Amino acid sequence: MSEPLFLDRVETPIGELLLVADARGALCALEFHDKPERWRRDFGRRFANAGFSDKRGLFGLAATLKRYFAGDLAALDAIETAANGTDFQRACWRNLRKIPAGTTTSYGALAKKLGKPAAMRAVGLANGANPIAIVVPCHRVVGSDGSLTGYGGGLERKRWLLAHEARHAGRDLLKKAKHA
C-alpha cells in the first residue's frame, strides 16, 4: 500500500480549494473544488493506489493559504510541495516558484531559464499539468505580448490572483496584461 494522503478544503475569495498532503505535510495537490473534471482525472492518475483521510487544518496549510489570501504573499514560500511529474515538469514547477509575487513572466522566458529556449510549448504543457495551483504559481505566466493565457481555474481567477498580488506587492500587473 502506498503512503497515506490527507485531504482538506479551504474557502477562499475565489472559491473552495481542495488540498492533498502527504504524511510529512508536503502539499501534493491543490485544485479548485468546482473543477471536478480536472481534479478527479488528475487525482485518479496521480493517486491511483492512495488511501485518503480527512484532516482539518492539514498541517497548517489551510491557515497558510488564508494568510496569502489576506495579503501575506510570502506565506506561500513556506509551503513544502511534493508533486509527481517528469524531470522536465518538476524543473518547470521549481522555476514557477521563483517568480516573485506581483510579477509575471512568459512561456518563452521560462523556457530560456530552463536552458531550452525553443521549448515554449513544452513549458506551456508542463504549466498546464501543474497539480498545485497558486502555491506553484502558474497563474504568473502570461503570453509573450502580456495577454492572459489559459488557466486551469479559469481566466477570471487568474485575473483575480494577478490583481491580488499586484495590490499587495504594490504593482499593477493588469495594466501590462491584456485581458482575454
Work out how many domains the chain is built from and give that number: 2
Distance separating alpha carbons of residues 179 and 107, to the nearest angstrom = 17
Check if the beta carbon of residue 85 is closer than 8 Å to that of residue 93.
Answer: yes
Angle between helices 120-128 and 87-96 (to 10 degrees): 80
Q: Has residue 56 got a pLDDT over 90?
A: no
pLDDT of residue 149: 86
Q: State whether the Cα torsion 16-102-28-109 is positive or negative.
A: positive
- The active-site residue out of 138, 142, 166, 173 is 138
Bridge-based pairing of strands 52-54 and 141-142 is: unpaired
Which is higher by pLDDT, 172 or 153?
153
Active site residue 28: no
What percentage of residues in the chain have a pLDDT greater than 90?
58
Cα-to-chain-centroid distance, residue 180 = 20
> Residue holding cell 504559481?
137
Grid cell digits, residue 136: 506553484
pLDDT digits (tens, 9 = 90+) for 5-47: 888 889 999 999 999 888 888 999 999 988 666 666 776 666 6
Residues 74 and 122 in one domain: no
- Which of 48, 78, 108 is the last residue before a domain boundary? 78
> Are 91 and 137 in the same domain?
yes
Q: Is there a single domain that holds both residue 56 and residue 114? A: no
Q: What is the pTM of this model?
A: 0.85
d(CA 170, CA 165): 8
Same domain, 117 and 73: no
Query: Tens digit of pLDDT for each residue in 66-123?
Result: 999 999 999 999 999 998 889 999 999 999 999 999 999 999 999 999 999 999 999 9
Model confidence over 112-146: pLDDT tens digits? 999 999 999 999 999 999 999 999 999 999 988 88
Q: How far apart are CA 169 and CA 166, in angstroms?
A: 5
Which residues are registered as beta bridge partners of 32?
17
pLDDT of residue 23: 86
Query: Do residues 113 and 166 both lie within one domain?
Result: yes
Together in a domain, 66 and 127 = no
CATH number of the domain where residue 55 is located:
3.30.160
pLDDT band at 3 (very low <50, low <70, confident <90, very high): confident
Domain coverage including residue 73: 5-78
